[in-house]
């Protein structure tokens, strides 16, 4: 029955992201978020390594040293910062984070909230996504503008809550921004 538990987990996560994206005005992204999780390449691995309290990708990585599901997922979903890693135009920098379009930064923000709620439902607070991000932020190759916006939104969520943050995103961050 692990397949059903995994399906419930990804459905709940997808529902939360959709709800948050809708609150921000990202209707299409909310509907299309993480559809690759239903592909055989991701779903079968998710079932095999399902535990219920964390991403199955971590368990696959521990077992094999890498995760095929994550490699598949990050290459198909533009709301992941890893999708935007490329060689820098400056040859001295090597690999670097490219600037993400604002609408994908917002979807990434919604994704982080949903993941925190999904895996820690009893202990979730508006500060949880920021705390999780801060524990690993130095490991993320991110463009400075992408990092600044994500951190601003995570801090606003922690200090002012969802309602005010989603309203700010809708009226200030996404207003007049071209969506790709």
Query: Residue 72 domain-assigned?
Result: no
Query: Residue 146 domain-assigned?
Result: yes
- Confidence (pTM): 0.93
Query: Residue 19 domain-assigned?
Result: no
Query: Residue 98 domain-assigned?
Result: yes
Query: Residue 118 domain-assigned?
Result: yes
Contacts of 61 (CB under 8 A, 6+ apart): 67, 70
pLDDT interval class at 176 (50, 70, 90): low
Beta strands in the chain (DSSP E): 85-87, 95-97
Query: Residue 21 domain-assigned?
Result: no
Q: What is the pLDDT of residues 71-91, one digit of tens each?
A: 999 999 999 999 999 999 888
Q: What is the pLDDT of residues 132-173, one digit of tens each?
A: 999 999 998 999 999 999 999 999 999 999 999 999 999 999
Query: Residue 110 domain-assigned?
Result: yes
Q: Which domain holds residue 110?
A: 78-173
Q: What domain count does the chain have?
A: 1
Query: Residue 58 domain-assigned?
Result: no
What is the rounded distance in angstroms from the CA atom of residue 133 to the CA atom of residue 46?
23
93/24: higher pLDDT: 24
Instruction: Identify the pLDDT of residue 61.
Output: 96
Q: What is the pLDDT of residues 30-43, one digit of tens each?
A: 999 999 999 999 99
- Of 158, 13, 150, the C-alpha closest to 73 is 13
Output helix, strand, coil percentages for the chain, rounded to the nearest 5.
70, 5, 30
Q: Pull the structure tokens for residue 119.
A: 């895996």
């Amino acid at each position: 029955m692990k397949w059903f538990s995994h399906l419930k987990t990804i459905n709940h996560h997808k529902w939360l992201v959709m709800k948050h994206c809708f609150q921000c005005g990202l209707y299409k992204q909310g509907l299309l978020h993480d559809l690759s999780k239903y592909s055989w390449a991701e779903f079968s691995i998710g079932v095999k390594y399902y535990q219920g309290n964390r991403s199955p990708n971590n368990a696959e990585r521990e077992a094999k040293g890498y995760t095929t599901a994550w490699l598949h997922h990050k290459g198909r979903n533009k709301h992941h910062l890893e999708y935007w890693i490329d060689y820098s135009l400056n040859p001295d920098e090597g690999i670097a984070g490219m600037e993400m379009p604002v609408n994908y930064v917002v979807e990434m923000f919604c994704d982080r909230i949903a993941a925190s709620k999904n895996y820690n439902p009893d202990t979730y607070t508006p500060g949880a996504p920021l705390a999780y991000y801060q524990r690993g932020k130095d490991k993320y190759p991110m463009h400075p503008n992408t990092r600044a916006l994500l951190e601003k939104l995570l801090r606003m969520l922690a200090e002012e809550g969802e309602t005010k943050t989603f309203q700010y995103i809708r009226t200030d961050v996404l207003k007049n921004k071209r969506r790709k």
